[in-house]
Structure 1
Amino acid sequence: MSGGTIDSFAQRIRSSEGGLISAWIGIPDPLFVNHLAQEAFDAVVLDMQHGVWDLGSAAVGIGQGRLAGKPVLARIPVGDFAAASRLLDAGASGIIAPMINSASDAVAFAKATKYPPVGERSWGPTLALNHTGLPAAEYLTTANDATVAIAMIETRAALDAADEIMRVDGIDGIFVGPSDLSIALSQGATVAPDTPEVDGVLKHLVARCRAHNKFACVFGSNGERAGELLKMGFDFVIAGADTQQLRSGAASAIAAARRIHASS
């Protein structure tokens, strides 16, 4: 598909270049997308599972990201595959689906995000056509490859079924949620996403992605952790959520002001 770095995103994440870093936004303000998209992120993810985006605001957020020159992905609420196809119609470059725990879950997800013969995505990409500038016939023949369907692996059931999930036609890659994974591994005892035990599972999943020729994505709690995860072999990482970055920036500014005032 045409459109430079935005519509070449799927090709970039599937390639061996790796090292993609994305913003993660749960605050449902499209202008917030535009602001963060000015930074050197490779993409922006709208979190509709735990953030408070609705379809209307997400569609505008996708447009704001693209206006700033960045591809926008969306994490849908659990099982909301109808929203997945509508977000692609709005111009999203990819969909992240949480709690894909089995091959049958993955098949249902792929059906909603891919046109035939791979899936059953319904036709109606009005905004996507506007964004890409493609004729309808060309969009139809290229959309399956130019957008990505990413299955989240974050439970024991998903770990057990990881190979079967990755074998599903139409699933382009996986996204690991280390927090939920740590809760699952500890049987609900703790949220501890950055531990050696979780790291062992992450390395295993990266290896399985390589075996199935799929890309691997993961949430990093901050920039330092994101760098560690890139070194681990992940192709696409989150460098902390918008709320964490916003509060960290505010805390840093307050601390600096207090420090200078105290020294006077």
Structure 2
Amino acid sequence: MPIRLTPTLRSRLESAHRPLAGMWVCSASPLVAEICAGSGLDWLLIDMEHGPNGLGSVLAQLQAVAAYPITPVVRVPSDDSTVIKQVLDLGAQSILVPMVSSAEHAANVVAAAHYPPLGRRGVGSALARSARWNRIPDYLTSAADHVSVFVQIESVEGVEAAAEIAAVSGVDGVFVGPSDLAASMGLLGRQTHPDVVSAVRTTFAAVRSAGKPVGVNAFDPATARAYLADGAAFVLVGADVAMLARGSEQLVADFAGTSPGFRESY
């Protein structure tokens, strides 16, 4: 019986009847990734840019979530073509590339993710999990069907070029990062500032005018709902490490120091 690969994020978005909700996995823990994968969320973002992830930990997380009906996406640390090739060979089918600010940059990212003649991805599928060690029939000729490429706009320059970036053939969608966008606008740490929100909405309109889905990072529930109302097709609404940090802090607020006998009851 032939092995089948799972749908990409591009495919999930094409068939979705509602926006897709997801969360970050930044802990580099396969166990945590598996817990999150069983949550009922639509997608997970395994982060190599700011999370302590290497190829080994990304592989382990992809394997851990493979048993669940959730779509994993790997954010690579940069547009480095070697890293993109390696992550795809690990079996990542959907990638997100940060800090893309021009159509030329986006085209280079697309080329790094696809085999010739579409791009310049190095050929090693017989040795790699991507093709399940040549157990996926005709993987080399059908690889473009199994790979989706998303780029992240998170600068003033990226906002200005958003329509051109989204229009690049092979860019399957655009994800907006309000945190770095705020920093590029001189509003560090103020991602819900009205000017930042306006820039995000401008990007939404430009990307959608090019016929591509647009997503955004928004941990604040009210902000996330507002962006969904503005047309976001996919959102990230939390992160494993942030949830653990805030949850453990809530335990302190609820118990530590509030009950004189609590610490003695251990």
Q: Does 1:62 align with 2:37?
A: no
Cα contact 2:8–2:148 (8 A) shared by 1: no
Give the deviation of 1:53 after TM superposition. Answer: 0.1
Q: Equivalences for 1:157-236 in 2 at 5 Å?
A: 157-186=157-186, 189-236=187-234
Secondary structure of the residue that 2:255 maps to in structure 1? helix
**Counterpart secondary structure, 2:22:** strand
Measured after TM superposition, the shift of residue 65 of structure 1 is: 1.4
Partner residue in 2 for 1:78? 78
Given that 1:20 and 1:236 are in contact with CA atoms closer than 8 Å, whether structure 2 keeps it comes out as yes
Structure 1 unaligned segments of length 5 or more: list them: none
**Alignment partners' CA distance in 1, 2:53 and 2:104:** 27
How far the C-alpha of 1:112 sits from its partner, in A, is 0.9
* Structure number having the greater helix percentage: 1
SS of 1:61's partner is helix
Greater mean deviation of Cα atoms: 139-148 or 41-50: 139-148
> Is 1:49 aligned with 2:45?
no
**2:66 partner amino acid:** R
Q: CA deviation at 1:16?
A: 5.7
* TM-score, length basis structure 2: 0.87
Q: CA deviation at 1:258?
A: 5.1
Cα distance, 1:217 vs. partner?
1.5
The 1:11/1:198 distance shift into structure 2, 3 A limit, reads same
TM-score by length of 1: 0.87
Offset, 1:148: 1.4
- The C-alpha deviation readout for 1:219-252, integer Å capped at 9, x for no partner, is 1124443333222211111112222111122223
Question: For residue 129 of structure 2, what is the aligned residue in structure 1?
Answer: 127
1:256 CA drift (Å): 3.2
| Secondary structure of the corresponding residue to residue 91 of structure 1 | coil
Q: 1:54 is aligned with what amino acid?
A: G
Counterparts of 1:132 and 1:245, CA distance in 2? 39
| CA shift for structure 1 position 190 | 2.6
Q: How does 1:32-47 map to 2 (within 5 A)?
A: 32-47=32-47
Q: Within 2, Cα distance between the matches of 1:209 and 1:72? A: 22
Q: Distance in 2 between matches of 1:32 and 1:161?
A: 37
Count of residue correspondences: 259
Q: What is the aligned-residue RMSD (CA, Å)?
A: 2.6
On the 8 A contact 1:10/1:146 being kept in 2, the answer is no
Residues 74 and 132 of structure 1: CA distance in aligned 2, closer, same or farther (over 3 Å): farther
**Mapped contact 1:11–1:146 kept (Cα < 8 A):** no
Q: Deviations over 1:37-87 (max 9, x none)?
A: 111211111111111101111111111111333221111112323211221
CA displacement at 1:18 relative to structure 2: 3.8
